[in-house]
Amino acid sequence: MKLLEGKVTLITGASRGIGRGIALELAKNGSDVAFTFLSSPEKAAELEKELSQYNVKAKGYKSDAADFKASEELIASILADFGRIDVVVNNAGITRDNLLMRMSEDHFDEVIKTNLKSVFNITKAVQKTMLKERKGSIINISSVVGVKGNAGQANYAASKAGIIGFTKSIALELGSRNIRCNAIAPGFIETEMTGVLNPEVVKQWREAIPLKRGGTPEDVANLVVFLASDKSAYITGQVINVDGGMLT
Ligand code: NAP
């Protein structure tokens, strides 16, 4: 029997990057997968097909994680289609980098809404079904930047630090109902998000990492599989770095 057989997982923002890597790894381990996307319908359709090759149920939903009402509707649709949600991975995220001096109010609000309020939207909407089932695992994708801060990313760092506070609070609130909530803090992971960075800066980042390489979506996905599984049954309220030793 596969590690996640019989589980239903929701991942936000899985059309590409880390979310896509997580969806594939979960499916390989036997979980049914409901995932969301926003602006990449072709990539989402491709992923749906790829996931189905692992003999699991898979469906993509176009849904803006920053939208409270849409998130409630999303959870209702997934429950109608899948019957249950055992695991949630709050992954959807964006960057709008700039020095504070040049950061617009819109870019601050946009990042907070997409990265942080989305975690509130989805977690609040899903908690009812998890409370009824008396089990669940919520996994929030934060960042090393949320732990350490980063010049030029005050909006992003604030959103990712906010996720950590939210994660610890929910772990305290829902622990007695056997619902776990943990955060993952990835370091430098090579995706479209980091693909926009100056190659010289990327080279410097890689050299500064003790393991001397950027991470892959699979590096993050492997930890998600563990946190989604019952093998992590006694782990909650934690922030776990997947960063090649960056913050050591
Ligand atoms: P990415 O390649 O830019 O992918 C972002 C994903 O989020 C896409 O699937 C996108 O969907 C989705 N998305 C964006 N806004 C959304 C919204 N409002 N509602 C629903 N989905 C939305 O980014 P990534 O590198 O994979 O990052 C994934 C997560 O890991 C983010 O939370 C990011 O902050 C975090 N993280 C990344 C790194 C890194 O080095 N890459 C490091 C630490 C943390 P569409 O394409 O359909 O719009």
Output the domain CATH number for residue 117: 3.40.50.720
User: Which pLDDT tens digit goes with each residue over 34-66?
Assistant: 999 999 999 999 999 999 999 999 999 999 999
pLDDT at 149: 98
Q: What is the average pLDDT across 215-227? A: 98
Instruction: Specify whether 156 is catalytic.
Output: yes
Domain-embedded: residue 43? yes
Q: What is the average pLDDT across 209-215? A: 97
User: Which pLDDT tens digit goes with each residue over 21-33?
Assistant: 999 999 999 999 9
Domain-embedded: residue 1? no
Number of domains in the chain: 1
Q: How far is the CA of 96 from the centre of ligand 1 (A)?
A: 12
Domain-embedded: residue 248? no
184 — pLDDT class (breaks 50, 70, 90): very high
Indicate the top mutation candidate among 111, 159, 191, 247 to test ligand 1's pocket, ranked by most ligand atoms within 8 A of CB. 191
Domain-embedded: residue 2? no
pLDDT at 206: 93
pLDDT at 132: 98
User: Which pLDDT tens digit goes with each residue over 150-170?
Assistant: 999 999 999 999 999 999 999
Q: Is 90 in the pocket of ligand 1 (CB under 6 A)?
A: no
Q: How far is the CA of 13 from the centre of ligand 1 (A)?
A: 6
Domain interval for residue 24? 8-242
pLDDT at 105: 98
Domain-embedded: residue 215? yes
The span from the CA of 162 to the CA of 182, in Å, is 13
Instruction: Give the residue, by CA position, lying nearest to ligand 1 atom 34.
Output: 93
